[in-house]
Structure 1
Amino acid sequence: MQLIQETPDLSAYLAADEVIDHHHPVVRETAARLAGKSADSYVYAQAAYEFVRDTIPHSADSGDLRVTWRASDVLAQGTGICHAKAHALAALLRAEDIPTAFCYQRLTHDAGTGHCVHGLVAVRFQGEWHRQDCRGNKPGVDARFSLTGERLAFVPEGKSSEVDYPVLYAAPHPVVLRVLKGAPDRPYLWETLPDAL
């Protein structure tokens, strides 16, 4: 699949905003701790990815009822769904000047009814974008950081009307963000996740 930058301006993929608040002390402290153990930006990117994937449980897997959406809150509270975890990873990567985009898949909903939009990120190394999924592994899901072929949590099945969206967004998609911000708890969020972009 050919990935498409929403904007040709790479600086947009380093920006901070109310969601990707990479100037927040919690983000900065976490980034500094990970960077201190990393020899270069590639090692740092993998360390940040594994930190978010492995130390911040996906709230549906852990049963956590809280809804997070701001990167600093995801890191501070240690919980979030795929979108929230993608926001946290993007903030950590952008904090160290690694261009990071938001990308999405349309997948069959875990509840078995309809579809939902799944969130992941893409990082830019060596002049190319590489998609990464930090939602967290579980039985049947074995996502890994990779710049040499995708190791995502899910591969969409065309026969199920699942799709990979090719656009690389500089900011979280407003359809997703609106639902995250409006959800009082995760069970409500689970029922109101968008089914398409």
Structure 2
Amino acid sequence: MAESLERFLEDTECVDWTDMLVTRETAQAITGCVTDEEKVKAIFEFVRDDISNAMNIDSVALPWTASTTIRAMIGNDDAKAMVLAAMVRALKIPAGFCYQRLTVVDDDSEGHYLHCYNAVYLDGNWVKLDASGRLGAKDVRFCKIEPDLAFIPREVYGECNVPGIFAEPYAPSVDVIRNAGSISDIIFGLPDSIDVEPDIKE
């Protein structure tokens, strides 16, 4: 298991946890925390509550790396997940990415997109965390026992949880955010399926 977790600790272009801004915000967020669980919970609440979701406020800021998202204090679901992963990895705790296939609107008339959230390896188990804070999801809480996610997939509309945990955010999703000129480009441009195998199968 130790070798398979190495990829979940890497510093990458998107999850740039060695950036000085990321390490500084991490240290500030975990002030007063002692255990790894306390530290991850504090980071989760910082990302959930303090970094605005660009999809909620029609922002023109479209950062796509952890450091630029912290600098702007705004980002879409994927960007916020990159921040959480980067800050947790800065503590040498493995963190990865999970996905749900969700509808773009209330039904499936406008198709689907991939919603990104996190998995963090705590006390020998993967803990699912969704700090996106979308559409009133601020009440979604840190929970080690059962995933408390912002969205519950509705099978009738073709929504589902994508199985597995990925060490890096899905590249086609990152490309959409990187090249987007507007929120609409992201909403209608994100892929609706994943064609690569997860690093951790569930």
* TM-score computed with the length of structure 1 as normaliser: 0.91
Aligned to 1:9, the other structure's residue is in SS state helix
Q: CA deviation at 1:8?
A: 5.8
Alpha-carbon offset, residue 38 of structure 1? 0.9
Q: Distance in 2 between matches of 1:79 and 1:11?
A: 29
Q: In the alignment, is the contact (CA less than 8 A) between 1:142 and 1:152 conserved in 2?
A: no
TM-score normalised to the size of structure 2? 0.89
State, as a whole percentage, how many aligned pairs show the same letter.
Answer: 31
Contact 1:65-1:187 within 8 A present in 2 as well: no
How many residues align? The count is 192
> Residues 111 and 187 (structure 1 numbering): CA distance in 2 closer, same or farther, change over 3 Å?
farther
Which secondary structure does the structure 1 equivalent of 2:139 belong to? coil
**Aligned equivalent of 2:86:** 91
Is the Cα contact below 8 Å between 1:131 and 1:150 reproduced in 2? yes
Output the aligned Cα RMSD: 1.8
Unpaired segments of 5 or more residues in structure 2? 195-202
* Cα offset, 1:99, TM superposition: 0.7
Would you say the 8 A contact 2:55–2:134 is kept in 1?
no
Q: Using CA pairs under 8 Å that are at least 6 residues apart, name the structure with larger relative contact order, 1 or 2.
A: 1
- Aligned residue for 1:157? 154
**Equivalent residue letter for 2:27:** A
Provide the rounded CA distance (Å) in 1 between the counterparts of 2:172 and 2:166.
12
Distance in 2 of aligned mates of 1:8 and 1:162: 33
1:80 corresponds in structure 2 to 75
Corresponding position of 1:36:
31
The 2-side partners of 1:171 and 1:38 are apart by: 27
Identify unmatched segments of 5+ residues in structure 1: none
Q: CA deviation at 1:140?
A: 6.4
2:22 matched residue in structure 1? 27
Runs of 4+ off more than 4 Å: none
